Amino acid sequence: MYCHPSLLPSPPAINQSCHKWRQQETINTVKSILDPEEIRAMEIGLTRRHLRYGLLWRLGIISGLRVSDLLRLRKRDLLWPTLEVTEQKTGKHKSIAIDIAMRKALDWYFQNSWVQDDDFVFFRRFNRHDVPMTRQWARAVIASEAQKLAIKAIGAHSMRKIYACNIYRSTGSLEAVRQALNHGSTDTTLFYLRDVLVDAN
């Protein structure tokens, strides 16, 4: 359930341990979360901090976009049934269908916030919607929530890995995952799926 942002508590201070998480987080150390209860717990916890954190987590999981691409999204990008994105890292185009639950959450957020069409959805400060949240801040918030829930080695890149794992579990196709992630090599895709492949065996 989503609450009005004004009813949610402010994010707790990010302590030194969170800064340590932020500096250590790389693709090599972030694991794929395989437990749906943990995924849901992260979303609930992040939403309690602020609705936009919960939306960032959910949108990252259903889109598979890198954090850098998520943070560049403006309200106008998310007003349509399909999100069209040109990836910053690769320059490749990606079309993402917005599911019903995500659509309802976004619509409620837009209707009950001051975010305008040209504003960043994941803004940095309440009075500066024209400035996006930084990757460092997004990573620190996610790492802080994971630490609170005693979930180890979880970071911003976990959203993309969850997306990859979900596709593999539903299709059993490595090629389907490679295409969804816009990977140039199946070696990279196999790296993303290592937790699922170990679990399957």
Digit-coded pLDDT (tens) for 41-73? 999 999 999 999 999 999 999 999 999 999 999
Measured N-to-C along each axis, helices 36-49 and 51-63 cross at an angle, to the nearest 10 degrees, of 140
Q: Would you state the pLDDT for residue 198?
A: 67
Q: In this predicted structure, what is the pLDDT of residue 199?
A: 60
**CA dist list (Å): 32 to 66, 95, 134, 146, 173:** 14, 23, 23, 13, 18
CATH top-level class of 14-200: mainly alpha
For residues 99-124, give the mean pLDDT.
Answer: 90
pTM over 0.95: no
Average model confidence (pLDDT) for the chain? 81
150: pLDDT strictly greater than 50: yes
